[in-house]
Chains A and B, each alone.
Chain A
Amino acid sequence: MMGMLRRLGESIRASQLWRSVFRQGIPRDRRSRVLAVMGNVFLHLHPPELRRSGVRLSFTWCLGGLTFFLFLVEAVTGILLMFYYRPVAEYAYHDMVGLRGHVSFGLLREIHRWGAHLMVITCWLHLLRVFLTGSYRPPREFNWVVGVCLLVLTMLMSFTGYLLPWDQLALWAVTVGTNMAAAAPWLGSEGPGSSLLAVEGIPLVHPGSDVRFALLGGVAVGPAALMRFYVLHCVALPVLAGVLMAVHFWRIRRDGGISGPL
């Protein structure tokens, strides 16, 4: 029995099909292990060899990697959610109710929502780790700055997604958040300095022209805001974050891999 299975396995691994995909057998010696990492587009994110301290779980806790993994989880579940969800005030809430009851594998929304929370958490903890190991020191300063941009983007992705269920929780949370924009100095209608921006007594910055209006497409959260947040959430912010992550990962390698004592 075992012999038959082993022979089956061997013949599969010897087939043209298998070898066209994997190119080589299970890497057992040093040379083939290096080749396995270099020859694979995904594994190739890593260098073939790294310092022992950087690989230790208690150094990075894999927190950056998990943040990236959660980003991918959000992308996949997000695309599936887009099959069911319409960002239109009349439909959005009903689509949510439908997702709850009628869609099989009804965990989609849960995984997407809790995954988003988890991503914010791992991102913050990753920041804490990078700080505590002093890993922002030269030559990694710029990658830290890229990380700060990723932090802001992560929170904005989460925030724009918060509106989409179009329920009371979403509406008022986003109202609270975007009201702050109206208080921006000079640019918000309720902020300091905006009253000084007037031409012959006619204010330039008013509720119909300030940054909150630009964000919401109106003076309050409404259908236009739903559409804007949807586009930001599903397209603009993730694309931007994806590009910055590519830069982040590229720089880790250019900066000499995971930091360690000199």
Chain B
Amino acid sequence: MIAEAWTIDSLREGSNWLAHPARVMTICAIGLVAGLWWYRVWTRPRWAALLLGGLLAVVTLAGLDPVLRDKVCRPDNLAILLLVLLLCFFVWRGLRQAAVNDDRAERGEPPFEAGADDKVLTWPHLVFLELVALVACSAFLVIWSLLVRAPLEPPADLETVLNPAKAPWYFVGLQELLVYFDPWLAGVVLPVVMVVGLSALPYLDRNPRGSGYYTLRERPLAVSVFLAAFILLWMLPILVGTFLRGPNWTLYGPFEPWDPHTESPAELVNLSAMVWGERSEMEAGFGAEAALWRPVVRELPGIVLLGFYFLVMPWVLSRTAWRGLRERMGSVRYLVFSVLLMGMGLVPAKMLLRWLLDVRYIVALTEWSLNI
């Protein structure tokens, strides 16, 4: 009995420790790379069933804990749980079908979906399928509605600040980015990069192969970049923001109750201060009316770093590893592609700088509220 309690407690503590964004992100990134590398192995039905069983077991076991159950069962959060389960399913099915097609391609066979002349009639084939999907979806929705009431909290009151105040779950990912970026980046620029990047995708991806069927082998770069963005930068921040952030947006382990406590905030430093030293000559005597060039000079290290990141790195890549890519895309497309990709990469880059070096801002032009 005592031994059992001890194991469960240490499991809880272990998970609470693991549930730091840095560790969660690292684990998921490694999992994604491994999953893409060995996609032909683990997507086989037997392996996948094992993984699914494991996932459900973990979810059920974790659900036994009242603290975590309370967090997950907050009404709107059930949608996130559903999303996670469905996402696991569809990523599995997508990669499974890709594995089947890639095996066929290696044997010189056309993809599973091939056969342009193989036509069927809409009535009854498609109409029947749509009817089934529609009825199943309605049934699911009605049962969900019968089981769970829509939430209604006390009436709106501007005097009583809700803590934690969270955005609707599909925007919590952006809210989580506020930990790393100022609002103009997290709430405006990065979403714009996302929407523009998504829209630009068909015009940037010039790979002629792999359209109209599931495959990984024929478009490895596109699929891995997309899945990394979709899972690590879109889904994961939602999960972290919803389940791991409590009052004051402080980090709580999944099994820790949200009793308001103040975490001693980490000492964050700006990159410029790391280079010049805190309160250096450079820093002293800058007021709001300081000459234009002085903050710029102070922030030169960060500006140079960003310039290197956004300009030099893509240029070097276009001469080396991505030479073929650049030639296929043409210069204009490559330029747009690299700006968007680097803009997206800014998110994990800043996270790493924060976790490893406690960097607050890379460029801190606080005078103009222009902090990066």
Q: How far is the CB of B230 from chain A (nearest CB, A)?
A: 7
| A173 and B184 form a contact (CB under 8 A) | no
Chain B residues closer than 8 Å to A145, beta-carbon distance: 199, 202
CA distance A176 to B130 in the complex (A): 39
| B90 and A93 form a contact (CB under 8 A) | no
CA distance A87 to B214 in the complex (A): 47
CA distance A97 to B138 in the complex (A): 25
Known: A27-B123, A145-B202. A107 touches B215 (CB 8 A): no
| B211 and A259 form a contact (CB under 8 A) | yes
Q: How far is the CB of B337 from chain A (nearest CB, A)?
A: 15
Known: A65-B133, A132-B214, A159-B168. A167 touches B122 (CB 8 A): no
Chain B residues closer than 8 Å to A190, beta-carbon distance: 183-184, 369
Q: Is B149 interfacial (CB 8 A cutoff)?
A: yes
| B171 and A52 form a contact (CB under 8 A) | no
| B166 and A176 form a contact (CB under 8 A) | yes
| CB-nearest residue of chain B to A121 | B83
The stretch of A4-12, A15-23, A32-40, A239-247 in contact with B is A32-40
Q: Is B154 interfacial (CB 8 A cutoff)?
A: yes
Q: Is A201 interfacial (CB 8 A cutoff)?
A: no
Q: How far is the CB of A260 from chain B (nearest CB, A)?
A: 4
Q: Is B151 interfacial (CB 8 A cutoff)?
A: yes
Q: Which of B155-200 contact A (CB under 8 A)?
A: 155-158, 160-162, 165-171, 174-175, 182-184, 186-189, 195, 198-199
Q: Is B146 interfacial (CB 8 A cutoff)?
A: yes
| CB-nearest residue of chain A to B128 | A55
Q: How far is the CB of A98 from chain B (nearest CB, A)?
A: 11
| A262 and B116 form a contact (CB under 8 A) | yes
Chain A residues closer than 8 Å to B267, beta-carbon distance: none
Chain A residues closer than 8 Å to B126, beta-carbon distance: 46, 50, 55
CA distance A228 to B113 in the complex (A): 47
Chain B residues closer than 8 Å to A216, beta-carbon distance: none
Chain A residues closer than 8 Å to B184, beta-carbon distance: 183-185, 188, 190-192
| B115 and A53 form a contact (CB under 8 A) | yes
| A107 and B127 form a contact (CB under 8 A) | no
Q: Is A209 interfacial (CB 8 A cutoff)?
A: no
CA distance A221 to B40 in the complex (A): 51
Chain B residues closer than 8 Å to A33, beta-carbon distance: 121-124
Q: Is A261 interfacial (CB 8 A cutoff)?
A: yes
Chain A residues closer than 8 Å to B150, beta-carbon distance: 109-110, 112-114
Q: Which of B94, B212, B213, B369 contacts A191 (CB 8 A)?
A: B369
Q: Which of A37, A107, A155 contacts B123 (CB 8 A)?
A: A37
Q: Is A249 interfacial (CB 8 A cutoff)?
A: no
Known: A171-B158, A177-B167. A51 touches B116 (CB 8 A): yes
Chain A residues closer than 8 Å to B210, beta-carbon distance: 134
Q: Which of B82, B129, B146, B214 contacts A55 (CB 8 A)?
A: B129
| A262 and B211 form a contact (CB under 8 A) | yes
| CB-nearest residue of chain B to A35 | B123
Known: A65-B130, A134-B213, A260-B213. A171 touches B157 (CB 8 A): yes
Chain B residues closer than 8 Å to A112, beta-carbon distance: 150
| B97 and A173 form a contact (CB under 8 A) | no
Q: Is B312 interfacial (CB 8 A cutoff)?
A: no
Q: Is B201 interfacial (CB 8 A cutoff)?
A: yes
CA distance A113 to B174 in the complex (A): 22
| A134 and B158 form a contact (CB under 8 A) | no
CA distance A16 to B189 in the complex (A): 62
Q: Is A57 interfacial (CB 8 A cutoff)?
A: yes
| B76 and A192 form a contact (CB under 8 A) | no
Chain B residues closer than 8 Å to A117, beta-carbon distance: 76, 79, 82, 169
| A168 and B211 form a contact (CB under 8 A) | no
Q: Which of B123, B188, B211 contacts A185 (CB 8 A)?
A: B188
Closest 9 interchain pairs by CB?
A180-B187, A183-B183, A110-B145, A141-B202, A137-B211, A172-B165, A53-B113, A117-B79, A171-B156
5 A-B pairs within 8 Å (CB atoms) are namely: A33-B121, A70-B141, A145-B199, A173-B168, A191-B188
Q: Which residues of B contact A (CB under 8 A)?
A: 76, 79, 82-83, 86-87, 90-91, 93-94, 97-98, 110-116, 118-127, 129-130, 133-134, 137-138, 141-142, 144-146, 148-158, 160-162, 165-171, 174-175, 182-184, 186-189, 195, 198-199, 201-203, 205, 210-215, 219, 223, 226, 230, 365, 368-370
Given contacts A184-B187, A261-B212, list 9 more A-B pairs with CB under 8 A.
Answer: A49-B120, A55-B126, A69-B134, A93-B156, A134-B210, A136-B202, A137-B205, A166-B155, A191-B369
